[in-house]
Structure 1
Amino acid sequence: MNILQEGSKAPEFSAKDQNGNTVTLAQFKGKKVVLYFYPKDDTPGCTAEACDFRDNYQGLKAKGIEVLGVSVDDEKSHQKFITKHSLPFTLLADTDKQIVEAYGVWGEKNMYGKKYMGTNRATFVIDEEGNIAHIIKKVDTKNATAQVLELLG
């Protein structure tokens, strides 16, 4: 598993968005990117987090910040999630798990005593040069935007 640190180069990626378009990290050079990883579309915590970014999206855009959500769900699942909750930002379908593994967020989880592999919730703030400026490992799903903005000052 990859252990990334603040200040290191963010791993490049290429993935399909909810509309089947290829998105790469390189496309966002010159902008700050909030790359947030979440376990599953339309589950309570993931919905709270996505809706918090949605509700604060215009303010983030005004500061030159792009928001990208990543889960291992497919494009169709992302489309439903976006439509149901009017999400204005891009969701990436990491069905081959290349991005979650590159960012070190794919790992063992435990629910009700049952162990399984899944995406650990985390947020990476990537600077204009493509370096990891901040990593949030303990995400407050209802206040995810505030956590990001607090780090950016």
Structure 2
Amino acid sequence: MVLNVGDSAPDFELADPDLKMRTLSEFLDKKLVLSFIVAASSPVCETELCTFRDSWNEISNLGAQIVAISNDGPFANKAFAEKNNFNFPILSDYNSKTIRGYDILAPDLLHLKDYNFAKRSVFIIDENGTIVYKWVSEDPLKEPNYQEIIDFLKKGN
């Protein structure tokens, strides 16, 4: 099922780097910028999440928070988060259940047969659990438009 703006965001229960299970509902006290990354420690994902880290104050002041999801295990995510001093959780979808639920599973990363991954994606979910913004790239090397995300949050949608 393809998700679109206006749809309810699929719930999830995923491990954070400290092996604590986290759910979508616990993040819905404010808008949620949900970033699906291709692979922890890959160059483009590092750039993306470092950009979000560096925009944290502005995003937080706009009444939103960031959560990243990768299909890497929690230990890889922990090393990645510690190396880059991320100030938001990176959740592990190691069985790709949530990635499938958001309809962003892609096969054969950079032609590596059967290496399934999340398409680089950003969803903004409001406090009611509704998707209010969606960006999905078919190109794992393409970064989101960070200014567009900030501008969307500024509009207060």
TM-score normalised by structure 2 residue count: 0.87
Paired residue type of 2:13: S
Match of 1:53 in 2: 52
Give per-residue Cα distances to partners, 1:31-71, cap 9 Å, x unaligned: 10011101101111000100000101111112221101000
Unmatched 5+ residue regions in structure 1? Answer: none
Q: What's the counterpart of residue 70 of structure 1? A: 69
Greater strand percent: which structure?
1
Q: Which runs of 4+ in 1 moved over 6 A?
A: none
Determine if the alignment matches structure 1 residue 9 to structure 2 residue 8: yes
**Which range moved further: 47-56 or 25-34?**
25-34
Structure 2 Cα separation of the partners of residues 151 and 91 of structure 1: 23
Number of aligned residues: 150
For 2:100 and 2:5, locate their aligned partners in 1 and report how far apart those are by CA, in whole Å.
17
Equivalent position SS for 1:73:
coil
AA aligned to 2:146 is T
Q: What is the CA-CA distance between 1:150 and the residue it aligns to?
A: 2.2
Q: How does 1:75-114 map to 2 (within 5 A)?
A: 75-109=74-108, 111=110
Q: 1:25 to 1:82 in 2, by over 3 A?
A: same
The amino acid that maps onto 1:104 is D
Displacement of 1:9 in angstroms is 0.4
SS state of the match for residue 66, structure 1?
A: strand
Partners of 1:58 and 1:145 in 2: how far apart? 14
Identity of aligned residues (%): 26
Residues 77-123 of structure 1: per-residue CA shift (max 9 Å, x gap): 11110111111100000012111010011123462x55543211110
Query: Is the CA contact 2:109–2:117 (under 8 Å) kept in the aligned structure 1?
Result: no
On the 8 A contact 1:36/1:123 being kept in 2, the answer is yes
Distance 1:109 1:136 in 2: 21
Equivalents in 1 of 2:50, 2:132: separation in Å?
23
Pair 1:110–1:41, CA change in 2 (3 A): closer
Partner SS, residue 67 of structure 1: strand
Q: Taking structure 1 as the reference length, what is the TM-score of the superposition?
A: 0.90
